[in-house]
Structure 1
C-alpha cells in the first residue's frame, strides 16, 4: 500500500482538515487546525507531499519520525500542527483498512466513556449564571470559563467579581475549571490564585504563560488548587521540564498541535509516571475531538475532555457540521462515549468539506490593548 494523495481543506469556522489516500482506495481524515495560522500549516504539506507520497501509510511511527526530524528544524506550533493532522489521518486510514478503531491498535480500551466539559465565557461581564444553567440543561456537569479580561502587571481587577462569577456557575450546579489564558502576569496571578483557592476549582489553567515555568513553581507552592498547562506545548520534549518541576497537576496537550495521537499517547505516558492527569485541550473541530476520544479510550490518566460544541468561535458551522452522523461526538448526560467505529470513529461528509473549502476562512484571533495603548495578552 502506498500514499497517492495528501490534501488539506481550510474550512470554517477556523479549521484545517487533512485527507490522505492510498493506492488501494483506503483513506483517512485528520485535523491540523492551528487557530489563526491555517495558511502557514497548509504550506507545510507541500513538504509532506514531497516526502510521503509513495510511502506506506501503515508505517505511522516511521512517517512521524521523518516528519519531525527529517526537516532539521523541529517543533513549534506550525510544523507540529501539520504533523498532528497527518498523524491523525494515518491512524484513521490504518483503522479503516483493518476495520479497527485506533484505540484497539494502541492497546485496547481502559474505559467506555470520559467526562466532558464545555466553555461558557467569563472574560467579559457575561451572564455566567444563565450560561452555566444552559450547559446544565444540555447535560454537562462541568464547565470552563475565563478568569479575567485583559489585565496589567499591577492593576488589579476586582477580585471579588471573579469570585462572584465562579460562584454563579457553581450555584448552577457546575464544577468549574478557570482559564487564566496566560493573560495574567505573575504579580496578579499570585493574588488571583490565592483568592480563588477556597472555591474548590477543578483546576486553574495557564495561570501564567508556559514560557514562565519558574512562576508556575511559585504558584504551586502557594495554593493547593490543581494547576493545568499544556495547550501551547508541542512535543514530549516541551512537556518534560514541566513534569519534572512538580508544579503541574494536569497537562492539556492539544492533539492537533502536539504531534497527533502518536505523540500525545507518549506525552500522557510520561505524565502517568509523574502521577499527573491528562485533560486534552480541544476547542477545535470533529476530527480533533475524535482523536482525543481515541486517546481517552486507551490512556489510564485521562480525566476530562473539552468539547467545542456551541463555543462562541463556531459561527456558521458548529462541531458536527461536517459529520454525517451527530451521535458519535454528542455528549449525553455530560459524558462522551468512546467511538467504536474504525479509525477515528467518525464519518466526514467529504462533499460538504470540499464545498466549504472553496471559500476558505481567514480566522484571526483578536488583538487586545490596555488603556494606555500597549499590547495586552489575549
Structure 2
C-alpha cells in the first residue's frame, strides 16, 4: 500500500482538514491547523507530504513521524507541529481502517467506556454566565469552562479581582456543589497577577485554573502552583514532551495537549505517558473540528490518566458552520449525561461527509484572533 495523494480543505468556521489517499482505496482524515494561521499550516502540510509521504507506505506511522519532525534542520514550532499533527491523525485513521479497528484498540485497548466532556460558556457578565451555565446543566452537562476575565492588566486591581470572583460565584451558584467549572486565564496575567487572581477563586473551588501564565513563562508557573490549593492546568501552547516537561516538573495538576498542535496522536500519547509519571491528569485541548475531537477521543479511551475532554459544539467561535456539519453520522458525538461514548468504528471512528467538506473548501474567511490594547494604547494579551 502506498500513499498517492494528500489534499487539504479550509472550511468554516476556522478549520483545516487533510485527506490522505492510498493506491488501494483507503482514505484517512486529519485536522492540521493553527487557529489564525490555517493558510500557513496548509502550505506546511503539502511541503511535508511532498517530501516524506507521497509514494510511501502509510502504515509506517512512527517512521513518518520521525522524518516529518526531524528530517529538516529547523524543527518545531506551532506551524510545523500542527502540520505533522493532522498528517499523523490521518495516518492513524488509515491504519485503523487497514486493521479493522479503532485507533485506541491499536494503542492497547480501552480503559473506559465513556469520556466526560465539558462545554464553553462565554458570558461577559455574571448574569450571563449564570444563565448559560444553567442551560448547560439542563442539557445534561456536569462541567463547563469559561474565561476568567476580559482584557486584564498584568497586575489586577481590586475591581479586576472582584470581577474574576463574581464570574466564579455565578458559575458555582448555577452548578451547585456537584458540578464543575474550569477558569481559563489565557495567559492574560503576569505570574504575580495570576497569584492574586487564583487566591480570590479558591472559595468557589473551580475544577482547574488554566494557563495562568503565558507558555514562554512556564518556568514561572511553579510560583502559581505553590501559591494556591487549586489545580493548575496548562499545555495548549506546548507542542512536545520536551516543552511539557518543565510544566510537569513545576507541579501542575492537569496537562492539556492539543492533538491538532502537539504532533498528533503519536506525540500526544507520549505526552500523556510522561504526565502519568508525574501523577498529572490529561484534559486534551480541543476548540476545533470533528477530526480533532475524534483524535482526542481515541487518546481519551486508551489513556489511564485522562480527566475530561474539551469540545467545540456550540462554542462562540463557531460562526458560519458547526462541528456536526461535516460529519456523515453525528451519533458518535451525541452526549449522554455530559459524556461521549467509546467509538467502535475503525480508524478515528468518525465518518466525514466528504461532499460537504469539498463544497465548503475555500468559503471560509481567514480567521485571526482579536488584537487587544490597554487603555494606554499598549498591546494586551487576548
Which TM-score band (shorter chain)?
A: over 0.9
Q: Which moved more, 1:282-291 or 1:158-167?
A: 158-167
1:125 deviation in Å?
6.1
**Residue of structure 2 in register with 1:90 after alignment:** 91
Partner Cα separation in structure 1 for residue 137 and residue 339 of structure 2: 12
Distance, in Å, in 2 between the alignment partners of 1:192 and 1:368 is 20
In structure 2, the CA distance between the partners of 1:109 and 1:155, relative to structure 1 (3 Å rule), is: closer
Q: Bigger CA drift: 45-54 or 81-90?
A: 45-54
**2:197 aligns to what?**
192
User: Is contact 1:40-1:78 (8 Å) kept?
Assistant: yes
Q: Which residue does 1:72 correspond to in 2?
A: 73
TM-score (norm 1): 0.97
Q: Matches of 2:327 and 2:267 in 1, distance apart?
A: 25
Tell me how far apart the structure 2 counterparts of residues 179 and 229 of structure 1 sit (CA, whole Å): 9
**Does the aligned pair in 2 maintain the 1:9–1:354 contact within 8 Å?**
yes
What runs of 5+ residues in structure 1 fail to find an aligned partner?
A: none
Which consecutive residues of structure 2, in runs of 5 or more, have no partner in the other structure?
none
CA displacement at 1:123 relative to structure 2: 4.7
Which of 299, 302, 308 does residue 298 from structure 1 map onto? 302
Distance of 1:214 and 1:70 partners within structure 2: 29
1:357–1:283 CA distance, 2 compared to 1 (3 A): same
CA apart distance, 1:361: 3.1
Distance 2:376 2:81 in 1: 36
Counterpart Cα distance in 2 of 1:144 and 1:155: 21
Q: Is 2:6–2:46's contact at 8 Å kept on the other side of the alignment?
A: no
Go from structure 1 to structure 2 and tell me whether the alpha carbon gap of 1:235 and 1:214 turns closer, same or farther (over 3 Å shift). Answer: closer
Deviation at 1:144, TM superposition (A): 0.4
Deviations 1:51-78 (A, max 9, x none): 2101100000000000000012111100
After TM superposition, list the pairs within 5 Å mapping 1:1-378 onto structure 2: 1-50=1-50, 51-123=52-124, 127-156=128-157, 157-173=159-175, 174-246=179-251, 248-378=252-382
User: Do 1:276 and 1:301's aligned partners in 2 also have CA atoms closer than 8 Å?
Assistant: yes
TM-score by length of 2: 0.96
Tell me the CA shift for residue 158 of structure 1: 3.2
For these two proteins, the number of residue pairs brought into alignment is 377
Maintained 8 Å contact 1:10/1:361: no
| 1:347-377, Cα deviation, whole Å (9 max, x unpaired) | 0000110110042431111111111111100
CA contact 1:124–1:148 (8 Å) conserved in 2: no
Q: Is contact 2:123-2:132 (8 Å) kept?
A: no
TM-superposed deviation, 1:153: 2.2
| In 1: Cα distance, 2:49 partner to 2:323 partner | 28
SS at match of 2:224: helix
Give the Cα–Cα distance (whole angstroms) in 1 for the partners of residues 246 and 375 of structure 2. 36
Moved more, 357-366 or 231-240: 357-366
Task: Give 3-state SS (helix, strand or coil) of 1:298's partner.
Answer: coil
Aligned to 1:328, the other structure's residue is in SS state helix
Q: Matched residue of 1:327: which SS?
A: helix
Q: Does structure 1 retain, via aligned residues, the 8 Å contact 2:154–2:188? A: no
